[in-house]
């Protein structure tokens, strides 16, 4: 097959970019030709003899909204001129004005806007007004991109429900979960001293972007204040300018919260903690959640967190409401009071992660590409989509 992947970034150190990286790597290993229409691509892929990197340089227009439009128009023109060269065109959400065979959906802006936790108000400030415009415009453009695709691939069941709200035929929708590297993220020797962390306490880990309220560290801090003093929290995130250190002080838990900034060696940090807490108010499918599972950590998430549907009661706790601090505190205390049970949950989480390896994800995409090509050879009809399954 000759495959075209259209995205901003194809690289390991980027969430959506990592998904596309693994698809491209698996396709090249299988002997397929891969063209990456992107602003940046990993050198090890771009230099592959079966690969072609067509760069669309980053726009210097003001605001991400205009920059994304610039990419969409330029990529659309390129695809229009070269579409006949490819067996499969794979895009990601609204990335281009061109039609696609596969649209992988990593985020639904309309879902974020309507989830009940959207924090911006149009008339509050200029910044809020821009955020509302950005979200609503992208939501509208994404709906059109879904309709232009032959098959839509949400990255979780949660995202699937948001895609279907746009009137997309369920027969054209197939969930393929994101993946995780179970060799890189694996249980092992703790290294708390390396990160300046205390040895004795039960350590929770929170990792996420503190510049966006949907990650929900504020509820985690409130829950921490309701737990015993032997519970500490590690926050792996850029916290400069964040209100959360002051909030921890106001709640009287500052000495139990360890802000350690961004961490390059996240696998080592996950080997040094006892549980992972991530009650995000809105998430499509978080890679860090899968990384915690692979690291054999019991997880506390929320139903608003995409991917939480794979977590069973034997591998973690899924809260009905991400704002429910008492319920979150109760889940944490459950881990602390029965550490043997928490470790057993972590082992089940590890086995669950084995069904979600990057190679498994990539093979599901390649199988979808092959079905598209096979059906196109018979008749140009939509591809029926089998439901996603997670072996456990």
Domain covering 2-179+357-378 assigned CATH 3.40.309.10 in the classification:
no
pLDDT tens by residue, 40-65: 999 999 999 999 999 999 999 999 99
Mean pLDDT of the region 274-295: 95
Output the average pLDDT for the chain.
Answer: 93
Mean pLDDT of the region 317-329: 96
Q: How confident is the model at residue 386 (pLDDT cuts 50, 70, 90)?
A: low
pLDDT tens by residue, 345-365: 999 999 999 999 999 999 999
Tell the residue number behind the tokens 């509050």, with chain if given: 124
Paired tokens of 215: 């990650």
pLDDT tens by residue, 263-272: 889 999 999 9
Tell the residue number behind the tokens 């890679």, with chain if given: 287
Length of the chain: 392
Tell the residue number behind the tokens 């039609």, with chain if given: 99
pLDDT for position 246: 95
pLDDT for position 391: 47
pLDDT for position 239: 81
Please, which residues have CB within 8 angstroms of residue 235's CB and are 6 or more apart in sequence?
206, 207, 210, 217, 244, 257, 258, 259, 260
Mean pLDDT of the region 328-341: 96
Q: How confident is the model at residue 388 (pLDDT cuts 50, 70, 90)?
A: low
Domain locations in the chain as residue ranges: 2-179+357-378, 192-354
The pTM for the full model equals 0.90
Q: Do domains 2-179+357-378 and 192-354 have the same CATH topology?
A: yes
Tell the residue number behind the tokens 């921890």, with chain if given: 248
pLDDT tens by residue, 63-83: 999 999 999 999 999 999 999
Tell which CATH classification among 3.90.1150.10, 3.40.50.2000, 3.30.470.10, 3.40.50.10860 matches the domain 192-354. 3.40.50.2000
pLDDT tens by residue, 199-224: 989 999 999 888 888 999 999 999 99
């Amino acid at each position: 097959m000759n495959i075209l992947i259209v995205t901003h970034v194809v690289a390991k150190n980027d969430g959506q970019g990592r998904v596309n990286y693994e698809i491209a790597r698996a396709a090249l290993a299988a002997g397929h030709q891969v063209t990456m229409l992107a602003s940046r691509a990993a050198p090890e892929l771009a230099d592959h003899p079966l690969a072609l990197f067509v760069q669309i340089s980053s726009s210097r227009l003001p605001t991400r909204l205009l920059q994304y439009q610039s990419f969409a128009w330029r990529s659309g023109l390129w695809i229009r001129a070269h579409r006949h060269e490819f067996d499969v065109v794979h895009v990601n959400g609204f990335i281009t004005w061109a039609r696609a065979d596969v649209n992988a959906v990593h985020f639904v802006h309309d879902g974020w806007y309507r989830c009940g936790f959207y924090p911006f108000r149009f008339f509050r400030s200029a910044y809020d007004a821009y955020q509302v415009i950005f979200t609503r415009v992208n939501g509208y453009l994404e709906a059109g991109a879904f309709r232009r695709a032959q098959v839509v691939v949400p990255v979780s069941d949660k995202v699937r429900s948001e895609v279907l709200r746009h009137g997309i035929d369920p027969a054209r929708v197939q969930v393929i979960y994101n993946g995780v590297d179970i060799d890189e993220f694996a249980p092992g020797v703790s290294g708390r001293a390396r990160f300046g962390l205390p040895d004795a306490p039960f350590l929770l880990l929170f990792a996420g972007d503190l510049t966006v309220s949907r990650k929900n560290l504020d509820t985690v801090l409130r829950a921490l204040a309701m737990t015993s003093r032997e519970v500490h929290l590690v926050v792996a995130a850029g916290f400069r300018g964040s209100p959360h250190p002051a909030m921890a002080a106001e709640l009287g838990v500052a000495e139990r919260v360890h802000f350690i900034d961004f961490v390059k060696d996240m696998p080592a940090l996950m080997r040094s903690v006892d549980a992972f807490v991530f009650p995000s108010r809105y998430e499509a499918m978080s890679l860090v959640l899968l990384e915690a599972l692979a690291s054999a950590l019991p997880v506390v998430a929320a139903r608003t967190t995409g991917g939480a549907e794979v977590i069973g009661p034997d591998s973690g706790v899924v809260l009905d409401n991400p704002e429910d601090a008492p319920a979150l505190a109760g889940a944490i205390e459950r881990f602390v009071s029965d550490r043997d049970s928490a470790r057993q949950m972590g082992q089940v989480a590890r086995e669950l992660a084995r069904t979600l390896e990057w190679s498994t994800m990539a093979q599901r995409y390649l199988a979808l590409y092959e079905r598209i090509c096979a059906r196109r050879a018979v008749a140009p009809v939509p591809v029926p989509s089998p439901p996603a399954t997670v072996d456990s």
